[in-house]
Amino acid sequence: MHYIITEKGTTARKIASILSNGSAKKRKIGNIEAHEFDGKVVIGLSGHIIQWDVPKAYKNWSITNAYKLIDADLVVVPIKIEVVKALQQIARDADAITLATDYDREGELIGVEALRIIKKINPNVKVDRMRYSAITEKDIKESFAARSEVDHNLAASAEARQIIDLIWGASLTVFVSLSANHVGDDFFSVGRVQSPTLALLVEKEKEIEKFISRKYWELHAKLKTEKGEIFDVTHEKRKFWESEEADGIRSRIEAAKSGIVRAVKTKLRVDKPPAPFDTTGFIRAASSIGYTPRRAMNIAQSLYLDGLISYHRTDNTTYPDTLDLKALVKMFHGHEEFGEHAKLLLKKKKLKPTAGKKKTTDHPPIHPVAETSKEKLDKDKWKIYELVVRRFLATLSDPAKWEDTDVKIEIGSEPLEAKGKELKEQGFLAVYPYQKKEELTLPKLKEGDKVIVEDLEMEDKETKPPNRISQAGLIKKMEDLGLGTKSTRHEIIGKLYDRMYVQGNPAKPTEKAFALIDSLEKYAAMITKPEMTGTLEQEMDGISDGKRKKKEVADDSRKMLNAVFKVMMENREEIGKSLKEAIKSDKIVGTCPECGADLLLMKSKRGKRFVGCSNYPACSFPLPLPPNGRLIVTKDKCDEHPFLFKLKIIKKGKGRGKTWDFGCPYCNFLQWKEKGKDKNGDEDKKKVIA
């Protein structure tokens, strides 16, 4: 029997349907669904089926174990028992195995994991590999016909990452959490990529906090031409740092009342179409229409599995010569949304796509591979699909052309200017509305024209601190610094939110994040620097290129970590002290209205959550809280109860990651009482912590 192994059940079903021309029959291998046709069986794995783990002896957290974890002999454990059993059953009658998992590091490793299980029972089975970038009939049939060898080096590089991340994450997380005496759900998570990424956000927040605003003034005027046309101008100096200077200039312009156009210059500006989507470019564009990196990638994954877009994990920004661009455009010839622009492109003698700086051979840039309509997809899927289609069509379109106008005006010896921009040819902007195309229209002015001052305004402003880094911006920064991979960056950012190190978008670090990064920078600076993890990423690339061995790279990382631990062990008390203080500050909800002490997030002996007074038992002021979800204390105070900060709750389980604005705990308590759930007066408060 010839078995074809895919990464997921949905992929198995689609590939079986394509290769069998729709004749595949369902069957079961153990408890796993499979699809059989013409002596072939296609089965899906549900992702990783085994993983590296620490030995049982190290599961009981201790400082000693944390240090020993660095050099512990890791073990491989099955995480999907039913799939493992199915693979063992497959091994007994397999003549040939074809791996058809996603073609990237993780996909190659998932396939090799399955292969190892099969080869333990059937070591001589023939093995080959399908490589495809889209789940379409053409791609799947061509990749099946041109099967090649399994890339064991690529799989080894992914496995090295697993091992290294486990060693670093487990040992550092245990050490730091125990030092802070903070285990359980809110333990301190530390990671090889996670920590330097968090350090970037903390560094930016410190920059914002140190910023001192400075006042300045801007002079704006409305002028009227002799034909009665009104337009806006600004003083050439833009910013005045002294109010006296600004007032003097204003007085001179007011006294003059009119002025002369000294110069008018126009020039043509060409706005080039965007480059094709790699993963980072896609995430940034999706962010601009309201999708977080994690959400955007999840939707893209679904569209890929539906056979609508190409593989969404790619570093490529150059279409390969083998990609039939004209055929892809023809798909949209009669499309309600994209048909008009597709017809314009098809009139060209030759399609000349844009190209970015990156060119790889594994997958092409993200592009549509099948046509669908808005009615066939849910709202979010459509918006992401539409983004991919419009970007693809934009990359094949003409540049946009603008006419920029710069007008110099003199009033009372003071230089003012007006700038205009007029869109002359839409080009790619006709199909790609995500890029701004705001026009600023000026009257037709010429040198020597007289203008009259209609209105004059001196606007006082303040310099603003630097902006926080958006999630999409952080993805780009991680890429530039070599932190993580195209497949993992959005997951790393998601973990920072899950571990309550950051909140909001743009991401704002919590006190817990500040304390962790400050401690690490002081006593283990290497963990927070991108250079360390960047070096390891390069070594893992060396594994995939066949220049390094998995064990060598893992041993190099252990040497780095041993050096870090030596310093951390010597400063354990100082690390623990700073982290404990941060934990407390992150739990402060406000000031007790009865005694003035801090109000904290607390838990009763029975596990009930509530807001309680730090002066307990002398003061027993409480407020109830919902039993589930991660609690986040915001910096927004309640208007009705200004002694309290508002709360947010991040849901767990179903709806995981969604944020609920809980608001003021006192307001919620009063609403609860009004609904009649408890009418016992002050007895309500006692029940809060029962």
Contact partners, residue 378, CB within 8 Å, separation at least 6: none
Give the separation between CA 165 and CA 340, rounded to whole angstroms: 50
Residue with tokens 């245990």: 174
**Which strand ranges, in their side-by-side order, compose the sheet holding 598-603?**
588-591, 598-603, 609-613, 622-624
Taking alpha carbons only, the member of 53, 31, 42 closest to residue 9 is 42
Catalytic residue check, 311? yes
Structure tokens at 297: 């990638």
Going by DSSP bridges, is the β-strand pair 622-624/609-613 parallel, antiparallel, or unpaired? Answer: antiparallel
DSSP string computed for 547-596: SS-HHHHHHHHHHHHHHHHHHHHHTHHHHHHHHHHHHHHHTEEEE-TTT-
Contact partners, residue 187, CB within 8 Å, separation at least 6: 173, 177
Contact yes or no for 100/311 (Cβ under 8 A): no
Give the separation between CA 160 and CA 536, rounded to whole angstroms: 10
Give the separation between CA 195 and CA 533, rounded to whole angstroms: 10
Q: Which amino acid is at 274?
A: P
Spot the catalytic one: 58, 304, 311, 319. 311
Give the separation between CA 208 and CA 511, rounded to whole angstroms: 15
Taking alpha carbons only, the member of 515, 504, 471 closest to residue 633 is 504
Q: Is 179 exposed, middle or buried (0-12, 13-18, 19+ CB in 10 A)?
A: buried
Q: Give the SS3 label for residue 197.
A: helix
Give the separation between CA 531 and CA 289, rounded to whole angstroms: 33
Q: Where are the alpha helices (DSSP H) in 572-677?
A: 572-586, 665-674
Taking alpha carbons only, the member of 115, 165, 139 closest to residue 19 is 139
Could you tell me the sign of the dihedral formed by the alpha carbons of 505, 508, 513, 517, in that order? positive
Could you tell me the sign of the dihedral formed by the alpha carbons of 379, 384, 388, 393, in that order? positive
DSSP string computed for 503-553: ETTTTEE-HHHHHHHHHHHHH-GGGG-HHHHHHHHHHHHHHHTTSS-HHHH
Q: Which region holds residue 589: left if phi is over 0, alpha if psi is between -120 and 50, else beta?
A: alpha
Residue 326 main-chain phi, psi, to 5 deg: -65, -40
Give the separation between CA 614 and CA 603, rounded to whole angstroms: 12
Contact partners, residue 674, CB within 8 Å, separation at least 6: none
Q: Give the SS3 label for residue 286.
A: helix
Residue with tokens 């060209």: 348
Give the separation between CA 175 and CA 62, rounded to whole angstroms: 8
Structure tokens at 496: 């920072």
Contact yes or no for 646/664 (Cβ under 8 A): yes
Residue 131 main-chain phi, psi, to 5 deg: -130, 120
Residues with catalytic annotation?
Answer: 311
